[in-house]
Every structure is written in structure tokens, then in C-alpha cells.
Amino acid sequence: MATILDDISRTFSEYLLIPRRTRKGQQADQVDLSTPLSSIERLAAPKLKINTPVVSACMQSVSGTELSIALARQGGLGFIYCSQSIESQVDMIRLVKSHKAGFVQSDSNVRAQATLCEVIELMAQTGHSTVPVTDDGSSTGKLLGIITDKDFWEFEDDLSRTVGEHMTPYSEVIHGLEGVSLKEANQLLHKHKKDCLPIVDAGGHLVALVFKKDYVDHRRHPLEMLDESKRLCVGGAINTHDYKERVPALINAEVDALCFDSSDGFTDYQLEGIQWIRKKYGPDVVIGGGNVVSAEGFDFLVEDGGVDFIKVGIGGGSICITREQKGVGRGQASALLEVANRRDEYFAKTGRYIPICSDGGLANDTQIVIALAMGADFVMMGRYFAMTEESPTPKTSINGQMYKPYWGEGTIRAQNWQRYDDGAESKKMVFEEGVDAYVPLAGPLAEVLHTTLFKLKSTMVNVGSDSLAEFRERAVLTLVSEQSVVEGGTSNVFKFDNSSWGNTG
């Protein structure tokens, strides 16, 4: 006979945190939100730590290049989706990793014979105001000089004159030699009060450019996720079908973490995949497994498989209809509490700490806070990031309000049958487990995330914690009644309806 659990399947919105003693001097801007993304062996440092406890969902409508760059710059990690060809996923990973290496390949270059008119056009097209002049007009040609928008006056100078007549010639260009470190390049920029430093090889060919603005930008993003070579970090999703080809390609592209993207990770297919990767690449590669919703699922992927982190959540996603379609899943709070409890037992027994990611169904900032209090080390979100400027879908105006398309990986549109495959022969989707929808545009990722994280830090101070580990340790939660939810909203006050403000229609 089937086993019926005594527990009710509970969600985050059913809980509230009880404040605990806040110590003198504790304040939100001092709170540390860094968290491990890989297993920790006997309190050694994790292989990978993120500075902000959020990662983006492995979804076509979420984790594109631009979003992964924006998120890494805020200290989180994007997981580029695997419901695309290996080649295009690799290209996206390479784009993130090469985004801001400090040394960038020049993408606007001219020949000395070009006219000022042509260079103005190029500057307008690319938005770049500094253009290297090379013998063949390419990014690797012999450097002949530099022309900037300060070298001519568009409405005073004769625009049919050549770049060669206006540029700063190579003999006067402050430059670095190939092999120079980023630090040394920045020192040269500083010393010579320059905005751009060309790097050339021994033969005088252009190799790269280093910009002062990138240095300043980096200082403004102190939480940026950088690898050892100062490149942005990025994750890659994988599936249980083509991992033998996909994983080597992603590792070759120097992906920072892998994550199985599966609606149900408690399968022999995923176990075999994890074991294959571990055998081939050893303990250094970061592998996330899941999704699971029980302690049993945790044991399977950790003890038998040896994953670095576990994703928890089935059926809670904003675009998800798995529970309706198949009757499978569990309330996200119940699932997380059970798996986090097993993670702590496992740590007490073995000294090995496995970070947990709460994936999907986070409907607002409060629920992110509750998930982290309940034991998640970090959260994965789809809808939240789909709403930002940087998500890969186009902005669409509906009745005067801006929206962005957001669809599940289990839709006909995404065609990600590998995520839902049960090993059967048919390599196509038989029914949908997700919906195709729109979400309102919320704004630039940095701004949206800033508010969320500030609320999180502020709550952590209410609970008297300076770090996420302390937050989990000190958190005391209570179940709420329907009436106390009503009490938590505004009551007995007259609210102005400002819903039409700004609406000129």
C-alpha cells in the first residue's frame, strides 16, 4: 500500500520569521552574502563560492549571455541553458567569459587612408570614441596610430581629410607590450593619464586594448564573480542525454560550474551522468544535481553520485504545470526543510557540506528571504530574471505596460524534451509541463537585485546574523494562519489608487 506522509505540503508564504536579538553595530550594509556553490570537505574552502546567493534558471527565456554577464557582475551566477546545440551553448559561455577580461579585442578599427567622415560613421555605429588605426584596418594589423573623437571637430574640420592626417601616430602612442599584466597596464593608464592603452606584440601588431573605464567599472562592482584569470564566471546546464559530448565541450570553454537540468533528478540516468563526469574529470569540476524534493533524493545524488550541490523543487515554478499534469511534486517549503535537514545530518556524520539551491516558485522578495532562512545556500530563479532588461526576450508593450515573454522549458516552444525524458524511445514532447507567458518588465538587473538583497540583509539583521550560515542557524520560523496573513497587510486605512498615474492613454 502507498505510504501517506503525515506532513502537509507547505509553501514559503505560510511562514514568518521571528526577530531575534540584533547586536549593537549590526547593520545591513555590513552583512556578508557570500555562499558556497560547491561541496566543502571538512571545512576546507569550497572550490567555488558566489558572492550573492542567487543563480539564474537554466532556461531559454532567462539565461542568455547578457543576463549571465549582468548577474556575474552582481556576484551571482548564470546557468546558460542546454536546450540548444552544444556549439551555440559553448559560444554563449565563451562570450560571457571574454566579456571583460580587462584585455579586449578591438572591434572598431580603421586604415589611415579612411576619411574622417568614415570614422565618424564607425564611431556612431559602434559607440566607441577611440579607434585604433592599423595598416589593414583589422584588429590584429600593424598599429599605425590612434584616432579619438578629440582629434577632430566634426563641424569645423574638413571631413574628407584622412584619418592619417589627424591621428596620434604610433611613435607618440603610449602602449603596452604583449605579456604585460592587467595591473601593469592599469598602472600605465594611470601614470600617463590615458583612457585607452593599446597592447602590441614584438612586431608592432595590435593585440588588445585596455580601458580605464573598465578598471573604474570593476571598482564599482566589488562583488563581481571572476575566475583566476579575472574573467567573469558562468555556469552551464547539461542533460542526461548528450553529456558525453556536451560536458567536454563546456569544460573546454572553461565553464565554471555544471548543473543537470532535469525536472526529476532522482533517476539512474542522472546518477550515471554524474559518475561519468566524476570518473573523467575528477573532483575538481563543480557539478550540481537535481531536482529532488526528499531526503531520499538527497542521499541518492550525494552518497551514490558525489554531486557538489543539490537543487530542490518540483512543480513550484511560476510557469510550471507539472503538479497538475502529473500529480508529482511537493510544496517548496516542505521539500526544502526536509532536504536541508538531511544535508545537516550528512554534514554532522561525514564533515562534508553540500550546498542546497532552492529552485523555482519564489514569488517575491520575502520568499527568497524565507528560503535562505530555511536552509537554502542559494536560490535559482527564472521569472525574477525574465523580468529584467537583460533577459534575452524582447520587450513588448501590452495596453501601455511593458512586458517580456517568459516560457517554461517544458513547453512545445522550448522543445526541451531531454529535461522531462523518462528514458522512453520517443524523442519529443508528448504533453506540456510548462506554459508560455508574459511577465512585467521590472528594470535593470542591478537595480532590481539591489532592492531584493537589501531587504534580505535587513531581515538578517533583524535575526541578528552577519552571514547566511548564521542566518540559517539563528532563524526561528512560525506558521501563519489565514487571519494573520490578512493582519500582515494594510488594514483600516484609506489607500489612494495610483494605478492610473503616468498612464497617458
Sole window of 265-273, 277-285, 318-326, 394-402 interacting with ligand IMP (rule: CB under 6 A):
318-326
Note the residue count of the chain. 505
Q: Is residue 449 a contact residue for ligand IMP (CB under 6 A)?
A: no
CB of 409 to ligand IMP, least distance (A): 4
In the block, residue with C-alpha cell 507539472: 322
435: burial class by Cβ within 10 Å (0-12, 13-18, 19+)? middle
Query: Rounded to the nearest 5°, which phi and psi values hold at 8?
Result: -90, 145
Sole window of 145-153, 241-249, 276-284, 314-322 interacting with ligand IMP (rule: CB under 6 A):
314-322
Report residue 329 as a C-alpha cell: 511534486
CB of 313 to ligand IMP, least distance (A): 6
- Compare residues 132 and 329 and give the one whose CB is closer to ligand IMP: 329
In the residue annotation, 343 being an active-site residue is answered as no
CB of 404 to ligand IMP, least distance (A): 12
CB of 254 to ligand IMP, least distance (A): 24
Sole window of 35-43, 196-204, 279-287, 355-363 interacting with ligand IMP (rule: CB under 6 A):
355-363
Q: Is residue 93 a contact residue for ligand IMP (CB under 6 A)?
A: no
CB of 270 to ligand IMP, least distance (A): 14
CB of 64 to ligand IMP, least distance (A): 15
Are 436 and 411 within 8 A, CB to CB?
A: yes
**Amino acid at position 34, single letter:** S
Locate all alpha helices (DSSP H) within 206-314, ordered by sequence: 212-220, 243-252, 268-281, 295-299
Among 270, 382, 390, 468, binds ligand IMP (CB under 6 A): 382
Q: Is residue 59 a contact residue for ligand IMP (CB under 6 A)?
A: yes
Q: Is residue 57 a contact residue for ligand IMP (CB under 6 A)?
A: yes
Catalytic residue, chosen from 231, 246, 343, 419, is 419
In the block, residue with C-alpha cell 543576463: 67
In the residue annotation, 196 being an active-site residue is answered as no
Are 306 and 277 within 8 A, CB to CB?
A: no
Among 239, 367, 411, 465, binds ligand IMP (CB under 6 A): 411
347: burial class by Cβ within 10 Å (0-12, 13-18, 19+)? middle
**Amino acid at position 415, single letter:** Q
CB of 185 to ligand IMP, least distance (A): 39
> Roughly how many angstroms between the first and final C-alpha of the chain, as a whole number?
61
**460, 360, 53, 444: CA torsion to nearest 10:** -100
# of chain residues touching ligand IMP (CB under 6 A): 23
Among 410, 417, 457, 475, binds ligand IMP (CB under 6 A): 410
| Other C-beta atoms lying within 10 Å of the C-beta of residue 477 | 16
Q: Is residue 60 a contact residue for ligand IMP (CB under 6 A)?
A: no
CA distance 428 to 418: 8
- Compare residues 123 and 320 and give the one whose CB is closer to ligand IMP: 320
Positive or negative, the CA dihedral 102, 108, 113, 119 is: negative
Q: Is residue 383 a contact residue for ligand IMP (CB under 6 A)?
A: yes
Catalytic residue, chosen from 259, 320, 357, 472, is 320
Among 288, 361, 375, 392, binds ligand IMP (CB under 6 A): 361
Find, among 261, 226, 245, 274, the residue nearest to 87 by Cα: 245
Report residue 325 as a C-alpha cell: 499534469
Q: Which x/- pattern, by CB under 6 A, does the window 390-409 give for ligand IMP?
A: ------------------xx
Find, among 103, 130, 309, the residue nearest to 208 by Cα: 103
Among 39, 318, 367, 459, binds ligand IMP (CB under 6 A): 318
Sole window of 227-235, 381-389, 453-461, 481-489 interacting with ligand IMP (rule: CB under 6 A):
381-389
Distances (CA, A) of 408 to 39, 115, 321, 331: 29, 50, 9, 19
- Compare residues 134 and 332 and give the one whose CB is closer to ligand IMP: 332
Q: Is residue 265 a contact residue for ligand IMP (CB under 6 A)?
A: no
Sheet holding 206-211, edge to edge: 103-104, 206-211, 196-200, 176-177
Q: Is residue 360 a contact residue for ligand IMP (CB under 6 A)?
A: yes
Residues forming the site for ligand IMP (CB under 6 A): 57, 59, 313, 317-320, 322, 359-362, 380-384, 408-411, 433-434
Q: Which sequence positions are flagged as catalytic?
A: 320, 419
